[in-house]
Amino acid sequence: MAHEKEHPALQPLRVRLKDEEAAYADALAAVDRLAALLPPEEAAPEVRADLGEINTLWSAPVPPEGGGLGSVLGRRAWTALSPAMARQERFNAALVRLVNAHLERTARFNTSLRELAGALVRYAQRVEPVMDARDRMSVAAAPTRADVVLEAMDRKVESTSQRLDGLIALRDRLEVLSEEVRALRRSLEAPAPEVAPSAARAAADSVYTAFENRFRGSREEIRERQTDYAELFRDLAPVVDLGCGRGEFLDLLRARGVEARGVEGNAHAVRECRERGLDVLHGDLLEFLRGQGTSSLGGVFAAQVVEHLPPPTLTALLSDAHRAIRPGGLLALETVNAASALAFLDHFIRDLTHERPLHPETLRFLAAAAGFSEVRIEMRSPVPDEARLRQVPGPGLPQPAIEALNDNVARLNALLFAPLDYALLARR
């Protein structure tokens, strides 16, 4: 059998099997990396020290003792302040319990992840020799070598797919927990009466922050996509970025020396922007615009924001933006292209906070109705050619049939694979 000539049909199957085995090895390596993940107390030992200090210092001081004049005055002051101090002590105790419970839950979750990763590795090491032995037995018993290769390959693909699905779910959960822990730690820096509300807002906002980190793209990718927008606003200060998110556009304007301010409803994102020295207000976009003076702004920018707004809010935003922008100023709104089936199915419906898709002509009409002039639509994020339908080559078919087929291909490409985003650019 060693010198038996392999059938040509098996060669592509062998190549594919080799690729799947490499993917299987990559999945195991990912599990190994997960097993090496350090829990918070090891990755950041100062967390445990800070927690110990909080547990030590939360209780209120004791009243003064002694018989001197100072002690008498101190006890009277203590009696006057004790109700407020009692409330502060109860607040401190509640905050300490909250932090202790959260860190304990995080530690248990990290321990479970380590145990899961270790169990996956041990199981893979145990089952792989059995799988290989079964494959060899199947080869000996199978009527054809092609059937055996396909069967072994299917098992490898199924096993790899299951492991990868589990790892993707673990990665998403870890990203959410990471953002939540970061947000809660930052909230502890707030004044004492604001810690609990700040922690609650941060925990809620951190889930959407992790979602954007996962699907929207890195800061570098967003900055690259928004660079040409920044050039449009170079001489239009002051500029407002509505729904500024992580502040990529504000970074671009600051690099060009353009005075700019952001408005964002996600408290977690606002804190991150402020830590980088950006001027960002935490609040409602429409309320902010209504508070701006007439013709006081050079430009208004909003990327991937208007699709989150209900129609009455969108029309009010356009009207208030027109009032606040000075003559010659610019309004730039980027959103998902509802005229692209791929953009709608793969981008728009993925985000639960999206209100409704906006057709380019709809947004153009609303902007013109609000009073803007020179309103135009600019398509963004084109779909790569390799992902679009290919036209039929010339030889082999009658010319009328080729023309009809290619015309249909062009129509389908325009409907299914139109650019993923578009920008409304309007002058005051």
Angle formed at CA 306 by CA 305 and CA 307, multiple of 5 degrees: 95
- The answer as to whether 263 is a domain residue is yes
- The answer as to whether 373 is a domain residue is yes
CA gap 291, 236 in Å, rounded: 19
Nearest in space to 421 (alpha carbons), one of 362, 314, 334: 334
- Asked if residue 404 and residue 422 are part of one domain, the reply reads yes
- Do residues 249 and 235 touch, judged by C-beta distance below 8 A? no
- Asked if residue 275 and residue 348 are part of one domain, the reply reads yes
- Asked if residue 322 and residue 185 are part of one domain, the reply reads no
Structure confidence at residue 9 as a pLDDT band (50, 70, 90): low
- Asked if residue 309 and residue 258 are part of one domain, the reply reads yes
- Domain extent, residue 364, equals 217-427
- Asked if residue 294 and residue 192 are part of one domain, the reply reads no
- Asked if residue 207 and residue 223 are part of one domain, the reply reads no
- Asked if residue 358 and residue 302 are part of one domain, the reply reads yes
Task: Out of 212, 240, 258, pick the residue that ends a domain.
Answer: 212
- Asked if residue 194 and residue 52 are part of one domain, the reply reads yes
Please give the residue that has the higher pLDDT: either 206 or 260: 260
Residue 209, both tokens: 């922050």
Please give the residue that has the higher pLDDT: either 63 or 215: 63
- The answer as to whether 199 is a domain residue is yes
pLDDT of 31 above 60: yes
Task: Out of 212, 238, 255, pick the residue that ends a domain.
Answer: 212
Question: Mapping DSSP to helix (H, G, I), strand (E, B) and coil, where does residue 411 land?
Answer: helix
- Asked if residue 322 and residue 270 are part of one domain, the reply reads yes
- The answer as to whether 31 is a domain residue is yes
The CATH number assigned to the domain holding 408 equals: 3.40.50.150
- Asked if residue 207 and residue 242 are part of one domain, the reply reads no
Place of tokens 């502040």: 247
- Asked if residue 309 and residue 176 are part of one domain, the reply reads no
- Asked if residue 413 and residue 273 are part of one domain, the reply reads yes
Phi-psi region of 277 (alpha: psi -120 to 50; beta: other; left: phi over 0): left
**CA distances for 10 relative to 15, 149, 152, 383, angstroms:** 9, 8, 13, 36
Mean pLDDT across 183-198: 55
Q: Report pLDDT digits (tens) over 365-424.
A: 999 999 998 899 999 989 988 888 888 776 667 778 778 888 888 888 888 888 999 999
- The answer as to whether 256 is a domain residue is yes
- The answer as to whether 232 is a domain residue is yes
Q: Report pLDDT digits (tens) over 87-145.
A: 777 777 777 777 777 777 777 777 777 777 777 777 766 666 666 665 565 555 545 55
> What pTM, to 2 d.p., does this model score?
0.52
pLDDT of 199 above 90: no
Task: Out of 178, 212, 246, pick the residue that ends a domain.
Answer: 212
**CA distances for 427 relative to 298, 320, 372, angstroms:** 10, 14, 6
- The answer as to whether 1 is a domain residue is no
- The answer as to whether 3 is a domain residue is no
What's the total number of domains in the chain? 2
